[in-house]
Chains A and B, each alone.
Chain A
Amino acid sequence: GAGVSQSPRYKVAKRGQDVALRCDPISGHVSLFWYQQALGQGPEFLTYFQNEAQLDKSGLPSDRFFAERPEGSVSTLKIQRTQQEDSAVYLCASSLDVGSNQPQHFGDGTRLSIL
């Protein structure tokens, strides 16, 4: 596709439910990033993939958060046993290469609301 695609655009879940958020990066992009953006704040880094390898997961707030990119393309961010503090916009970004100044291209995000 022409850009980074994220689905769903909105997700409402009850506290305690599991959710899965999908990211389709730009075709051919090696690097994939997930960010969490709380209301009125800047995005904060969650995790990074280079192809299928998860090289950095230092930003994941707890072991309830899990991300995968099994074939080096589509990525899924899963949150288990959701809590109200998980409510945020989750942004996915991809970039062409590693170790260069290639810009990160962002999707429209998924707004997650936990009731």
Chain B
Amino acid sequence: AQTVTQSQPEMSVQEAETVTLSCTYDTSESDYYLFWYKQPPSRQMILVIRQEAYKQQNATENRFSVNFQKAAKSFSLKISDSQLGDAAMYFCAYRQGYGGATNKLIFGTGTLLAVQP
């Protein structure tokens, strides 16, 4: 069974600085997708960035980028120029690739990010 592990329950960063959130996963599949979701106190889960396992190039979305190490099964999120609005719970998630029966997401336990002004 696939698992996702986030080993940092809480992180803190100064406004305008850079922070990296860690995520590791375990799977025997070769085709899958990885995601970072942000969940503010309002509870709505918002997609931050996604990575296809077959792509070697790391995904980037504005201030958000990932370091995808397939062999190490590691998928970290880097937030540059942190803003107060980035404060939230961040979840790493895994989804089996095309042909998977469900496309369900498997989530880690989350990292609570605080941004200090």
* Interface size grouping (class) on chain A: 20 to 34
Q: Which of A45, A89, A93, A103 contacts B50 (CB 8 A)?
A: A103
Bound Cα distance from A40 to B99, whole angstroms? 32
- Are A44 and B107 in contact, with the CB atoms below 8 A? yes
Encode contact with B along A90-115: 1 for CB under 8 Å, 0 otherwise: 01010100111101111111010000
- Are A103 and B98 in contact, with the CB atoms below 8 A? no
- Are B104 and A48 in contact, with the CB atoms below 8 A? yes
Q: Which B58-117 residues have C-beta < 8 A from chain A? A: 91, 93, 98-99, 101-110
Residues of A within 8 A of B99 (CB): 99
Q: Which of B43, B44, B105 contacts A104 (CB 8 A)?
A: B105
Q: Can you report 26 A-B residue pairs in the complex whose CB atoms are below 8 A from each other?
A: A33-B105, A40-B109, A40-B110, A42-B93, A42-B110, A43-B45, A43-B91, A43-B105, A43-B107, A45-B105, A45-B106, A48-B104, A55-B101, A56-B104, A59-B104, A93-B45, A95-B103, A99-B99, A100-B98, A101-B33, A103-B47, A104-B47, A106-B37, A108-B43, A108-B44, A111-B43
